Structure 1
Amino acid sequence: MEAVPARARCYVTCVALLALLCLLPLPTASRAPWWALALLAALYAGCDHLVRRRFAGTFYPVLLAGAFLLPPPAAALVPLPAALFPCAGPRSAPLRRLWRAAQLALAVWGASRVHWALGGRDAVTGADFPYALVPAGAAVLAFCLVLTVLDGGIRVVAERVPPRRAWRGLLSRSLGPVAVHGLAGLMMAVLWRSPYGPVAALLVLLPMCVSCWVFAQYHRERAAHQATIRALVRAVDIKDGYTRGHSERVGHASVLIGRELGMDEERVEVLRFAGILHDVGKLGVPTRLLRKDGPLTPEERRVIELHPEYGHEMVRGITFLGEARAAILHHHERLDGSGYPYGLVGGQIPECARVVAVADAFDAMTSTRSYRRARPVAAAVEELERCAGTQFDPRMVTALRHALARYGWHPAVTADETPHQAPASEPVPSSPGPPR
């Protein structure tokens, strides 16, 4: 509690008082049956407990069904028991519980007020489709707007986020998922008012719970993927600390190229994986060669040039990487066939490998090394264009140039300051060369 700024406490208190005003006048039995209110509140508490404990998410269909079925003051009561007295996970601070309760109460009240003002109650009772979708859609929008305004406000007050950034993206990120929950809530409300009664409305929750489970599984799998990649990159950074941060920057540049080429987000994500992991094969190269101060012998250079094959072998069984595995194997190939490990020519080189090759060379030139300063971005792009057609795919070079002109180049890490001498595995190039 001591860590919460006074201004944030004041903000939460004001929101709670506003929510309290929305509860007045308290609903009467004639306008809102208490049994319906109690059932929806208990149902929401159970669903909220299940979703938060099992799926670590939020669950709004019951709240929106309450907004479609009950008068605004009664609908605002539905989230209070679950928000004020949560039974999932460790008990949060009282101020946090008060904030969540007030926020949800205001959002449900706003959704119900809009829904009733547009005649949504009669549309639900008469199952008047498609007109019932209009007030329901407006109610969902009001629900999202209230949550967005309040969330942005707490970010400004508690976290000192600039107002111009506090609300950026909040509404667009929440509108899609809440719209799906709103459709489920509308189906619940229609079935509730139908001759089949509340029992039939409960059937809507089954597919929603299944969807939550699938969504949670997807995010857990994605988190596992990210953890796998982080572990591999960390291992490379520990072994070859001179290029620390290089992998992340190559991944970022690969994403810029992929998006400029119009690739879908799934392929762009694969490109990011490819860029981040392109040097993972260095784990199979003796550390003494990676850190050697003097020039490499031809035999030592041949050993280092095996790192794409080592990397491919390491990630061959990681199925979620997809075509990123081909990029790891072929990112040192050249269009003229002088690259390695297989000397592929032109179109024989996988597209993702051609993207990573350009991103790799670009970062090698624009990163500071102990033996040379980083080249300016414009000079690096000019060098890439000079080598386009022989070493690099001109289409990838052009895409990078356009992306840099549009977004600039702002890497989070630009150099590793630990080493004081250039390693033998990365000699000073007069041109991009085959980046190692």
Structure 2
Amino acid sequence: MRALPPTARAYVLAAVLAAAACAAPALADPATPWPAVALLAVLYLGCELLRTCPLVGGRVPEGIGSFFPVLTAAVFLLPPAAAALVAVPGGLAQAVVTRPAGVRRVWHAAQQAVAAWAAGGVYGLLGGRAALAGSRAAAGAPPGPDGAGPGADPSAWVADFPYVMLPATAAAVVFCLVLTALDGGVLAAAERRPAATAWQGLLTRSLAPHCVHGLAGLMMAVLWRSPYGIPAALLVLLPMYISCWVFAQYHRERAAHRATIRALVQAVDIKDRYTRGHSERVGQASAMIARELGMADDRLEVVRIAGILHDVGKLGVPTRLLRKDGPLTPEERRIIELHPEYGHEMVRGIGFLGEARSAILHHHERVDGRGYPYGLSGEQIPVLARVVAVADSFDAMTSTRSYSRARPVPVALTELERCAGAQFDPAVVRALVGAIGRHGWHPVVTSDDDLQVIAAGGAPGAPAAI
């Protein structure tokens, strides 16, 4: 735990102590159904280990969550303290790729134990266990031994639907709320994030998957208590496991895409040291413009990638020209102006880039038709290219280059507005001005040579972005 800040260490320790307090009553209670606890704990552990097995596709990317149907089934079948115990082995086995791995595994086990205990308490308070027992209770037949199957009169058992759905849904929501609350807290403590942003987006991303896992856990619990017993309950895991495997494959593909983009950008940054970090900042500004224009999330991601890769064609330009101090000759400028075509050729075979390829090719076109490489004008220029053109020029003006000093953000925005209608799409310029007016400009990447928004402005003139 030495790698963590003291506040994060204290937070993790508090979570571990809370988990121990949640699970301790099960150890002291002689009525704890140990056979069911052991079986569910082994099932949960097996599901987590299977997801990291090389024979089924390799380690699951960290961040896509655990396989929770078994744990939610434990919440519905067992007392809260016993459900907390079930969470520990699987939590300790969850895939971790970032150090400190041991602390992260302990953290996963602790937060899942606390979440299972809280969800189990809510489920019991809302009468979930009585509803799951259904007509067995009405007929006077006792529950199956340790919750592991039907009692003396299995034919009398019918779960009380739809009433069991309400406490089960509430338990799944509480389970999600506790996990996300703890996750946000540890992010704030470990990464020193502001409290206002530590929890941002966690709940919206997690609620639907946790509710689906809760429904699968309820199905598993119902079949577990049914006359068909444990073998029928295990059948629920197969389709859920397949869906999680497909989801993991999607994440692996996304990770491969990001690695491809990162490698291309790093190659450009190494070659052109004066624009190091420029690509990421253009991607950030492009995404801000796209969001202001109301583009859908999937298209917003495409325009962000287009902004990041817009200068990849500079890999085909002689390094001496990219690093030249002072103005370029007309011949040198013509050579550099080939970089959009070089970039398009380089990425043409990368299928996942989609619409981003045309933005890379046309981001130096002008709305008055005086741009390059093809002299397109107005609506002929793809909209993503118009977005990247504004973002590119904005970052060029607010960054220190070999041939100009950084201008303050207001000066750069004024220059963009002056050139709107000739060089830039006026609607795109307005979108950038509006986005920065609301959110400010806080670039996520800065280079050693870039001095963001210095007090002294550069010489007036058209925005320079080659």
Which bin holds the TM-score, normalised by the shorter protein?
0.7 to 0.9
From 60, 65, 79, the counterpart of 1:55: 60
From 367, 374, 380, the counterpart of 2:399: 367
Moved more, 354-363 or 376-385: 376-385
CA change 1:249–1:418 in 2 (3 A) is closer
Is the counterpart of residue 144 in structure 1 residue 149 in structure 2? Answer: no
Contact 1:52 1:58 in 2 (8 A): no
The 2-side partners of 1:165 and 1:336 are apart by 42
Deviation at 1:80, TM superposition (A): 3.3
Query: Which runs of structure 2 are paired with 1:250-289 in the superposition (5 Å)?
Result: 250-289=282-321
Is the counterpart of residue 292 in structure 1 residue 324 in structure 2? Answer: yes
Is the counterpart of residue 64 in structure 1 residue 69 in structure 2? Answer: no
The 2-side partners of 1:403 and 1:9 are apart by 38
The 2-side partners of 1:399 and 1:391 are apart by 16
CA RMSD, 1 decimal: 3.0
Deviation at 1:407, TM superposition (A): 0.8
Contact 1:241 1:416 in 2 (8 A): no
Secondary structure of the 2:85 match is: coil
Contact 1:22 1:109 in 2 (8 A): no
Q: Which residue of 2 aligns with 1:397?
A: 429
The 2-side partners of 1:93 and 1:28 are apart by 35
Q: Which residue of 2 aligns with 1:118?
A: 126
The 2-side partners of 1:271 and 1:73 are apart by 49
Secondary structure of the 1:211 match is: helix
Q: Which residue of 1 aligns with 2:88?
A: 80
Unaligned ranges ≥5, structure 2: 54-58, 134-157, 452-457
Q: Which residue of 1 aligns with 2:143?
A: none
Contact 1:333 1:341 in 2 (8 A): yes
Query: Which runs of structure 2 are paired with 1:212-251 in the superposition (5 Å)?
Result: 212-251=244-283
Instruction: Return the letter of the residue paired with 1:239.
Output: K
Contact 1:369 1:415 in 2 (8 A): no
Secondary structure of the 1:136 match is: helix
CA change 1:413–1:81 in 2 (3 A) is closer
Map Cα deviations across residues 319-352 of structure 1 (whole Å, 9 max, x no partner). Answer: 1111110001001111111111111121111111
Is the counterpart of residue 313 in structure 1 residue 316 in structure 2? Answer: no
Unaligned ranges ≥5, structure 1: 420-426
Q: Which residue of 1 aligns with 2:43?
A: 43
Deviation at 1:18, TM superposition (A): 1.4
Deviation at 1:95, TM superposition (A): 6.5
Deviation at 1:27, TM superposition (A): 5.3
Deviation at 1:210, TM superposition (A): 1.0
Q: Which residue of 2 aligns with 1:325?
A: 357
Moved more, 173-182 or 273-282: 173-182
Contact 2:80 2:121 in 1 (8 A): yes
The 1-side partners of 2:345 and 2:215 are apart by 47
Deviation at 1:12, TM superposition (A): 4.9
Q: TM-score, normalised by structure 2?
A: 0.82
The 2-side partners of 1:170 and 1:43 are apart by 27
Q: Which residue of 2 aligns with 1:203?
A: 235
Q: Which residue of 2 aligns with 1:104?
A: 112
Instruction: Return the letter of the residue paired with 1:55.
Output: V
Q: TM-score, normalised by structure 1?
A: 0.87
| Paired-residue identity, % | 67
The 2-side partners of 1:88 and 1:414 are apart by 32
Instruction: Return the letter of the residue paired with 2:291.
Output: R
Map Cα deviations across residues 398-426 of structure 1 (whole Å, 9 max, x no partner). Answer: 1111111111111134554299xxxxxxx
Contact 1:7 1:157 in 2 (8 A): no
Map Cα deviations across residues 172-216 of structure 1 (whole Å, 9 max, x no partner). Answer: 443232122111111111222233222111111111111111111
CA change 1:27–1:331 in 2 (3 A) is farther
Map Cα deviations across residues 264-289 of structure 1 (whole Å, 9 max, x no partner). Answer: 11111110111011111111111122
Q: Which residue of 2 aligns with 1:11?
A: 14
Contact 1:191 1:201 in 2 (8 A): yes
Map Cα deviations across residues 325-382 of structure 1 (whole Å, 9 max, x no partner). Answer: 0001001111111111111121111111111111111111111235433222222122
The 1-side partners of 2:208 and 2:325 are apart by 55
Q: Which residue of 1 aligns with 2:379?
A: 347
The 1-side partners of 2:209 and 2:338 are apart by 47
The 1-side partners of 2:462 and 2:12 are apart by 59
Deviation at 1:389, TM superposition (A): 1.4
Instruction: Return the letter of the residue paired with 1:363.
Output: D
Secondary structure of the 1:384 match is: helix
CA change 1:332–1:96 in 2 (3 A) is closer
Instruction: Return the letter of the residue paired with 2:60.
Output: F
CA change 1:10–1:230 in 2 (3 A) is closer
Q: Which residue of 1 aligns with 2:216?
A: 184
Moved more, 116-125 or 277-286: 116-125
Deviation at 1:168, TM superposition (A): 4.7
